[in-house]
């Protein structure tokens, strides 16, 4: 069976390829590899995300959900030098790459590449950024988002880029139905950029209504 980028430990030979990307006015050179999403390139969806969404306006604790080789996580850390960034993936090769890229960029003290199970349970995030793994299927995607969206800090936001032909509009409605008001903040090249927010004025864990 061929490897998928969401495999926990790809069995294919690791063939590396450098990628130079433009992210919010900064040029970053990173290593990518086979068995990891978007080897040798900046995928179109993430490029749209950088172009259509403004970077964080201030410091905080940020999450790159499904980090791959770490392009979003590294861009967040460079955009906000005082930020703490967590980069989460199930693909251990991706996590190794992300950590090595952070080290090469001199941001390893602020960027934590981690398996989901290794993120402290009490940690909340001011912002979550993601090019989510749509191809894992709708049930698994919904489970993923329901695990992490509730970990937004009050008044926090999640920014997601999703292909229109992969269900971006229905996903926007579904996220809103889960209690996280979700709007479209950008659209280009067949991708939607969605922004979901923790409900204003709603206490965490309050189920009254």
Kindly report the CATH number assigned to the domain that includes residue 56: 3.40.50.150
pLDDT score recorded for residue 40: 87
Contact 133, 104 (CB under 8 A): no
205 in any annotated domain: no
Evaluate if residue 206 carries a pLDDT over 70: no
State how many domains the chain has. Answer: 1
- For the record, the structure tokens of 157 come out as 């936001």
Evaluate if residue 58 carries a pLDDT over 70: yes
108 in any annotated domain: yes
Evaluate if residue 2 carries a pLDDT over 50: no
Chain centroid to CA 169: 19
For 73-99, write each residue's pLDDT tens digit: 999 999 999 999 999 999 999 999 999
> What average pLDDT does the chain have?
90
- For the record, the structure tokens of 8 come out as 């926990």
11 in any annotated domain: no
Evaluate if residue 203 carries a pLDDT over 60: no
Evaluate if residue 182 carries a pLDDT over 70: yes
Among 135, 133, 119, 136, which Cα is nearest to 62's?
119
- For the record, the structure tokens of 180 come out as 């996280």
For 144-159, write each residue's pLDDT tens digit: 999 999 999 999 999 9
For residue 189, count other CB atoms closer than 10 A to its CB: 12
pLDDT score recorded for residue 4: 39
8 in any annotated domain: no
- For the record, the structure tokens of 206 come out as 């309050």
91 in any annotated domain: yes
107 in any annotated domain: yes
- For the record, the structure tokens of 145 come out as 């988002």
Query: What whole-number distance in Å separates Cα of residue 10 and Cα of residue 34?
Result: 9
Residues spanned by the domain of 119? 16-197
208 in any annotated domain: no
60 in any annotated domain: yes
Query: What whole-number distance in Å separates Cα of residue 82 and Cα of residue 70?
Result: 18
Contacts of residue 200, Cβ cutoff 8 Å, sequence gap at least 6 = 155
Evaluate if residue 142 carries a pLDDT over 70: yes
Contact 161, 184 (CB under 8 A): no
pLDDT score recorded for residue 1: 32
């Amino acid at each position: 069976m061929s490897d998928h980028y969401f495999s926990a430990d790809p069995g294919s030979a690791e063939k590396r390829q450098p990628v130079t990307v433009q992210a919010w006015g900064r040029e970053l050179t990173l290593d990518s590899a086979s068995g990891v999403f978007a080897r040798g390139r900046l995928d179109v969806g993430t490029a749209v995300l950088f172009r259509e969404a403004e970077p964080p306006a201030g410091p905080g604790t940020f999450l790159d959900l499904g980090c791959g080789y770490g392009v979003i996580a590294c861009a967040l850390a460079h955009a906000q030098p005082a930020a703490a960034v967590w980069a989460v993936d199930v693909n251990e090769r991706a996590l190794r790459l992300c950590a090595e890229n952070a080290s090469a960029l001199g941001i390893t003290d602020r960027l934590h590449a981690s398996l989901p199970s290794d993120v402290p349970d009490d940690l909340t995030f001011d912002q979550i950024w993601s090019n989510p793994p749509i191809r894992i299927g709708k049930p698994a995607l919904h489970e993923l988002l329901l695990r992490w969206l509730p970990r937004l800090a009050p008044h926090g936001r999640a920014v997601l880029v999703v292909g229109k032909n992969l269900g971006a509009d229905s996903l926007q409605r579904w996220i809103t139905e889960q209690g996280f008001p979700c709007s479209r903040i950008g659209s280009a090249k067949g991708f939607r950029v969605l922004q979901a927010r923790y409900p204003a004025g709603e206490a965490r864990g309050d189920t009254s209504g």
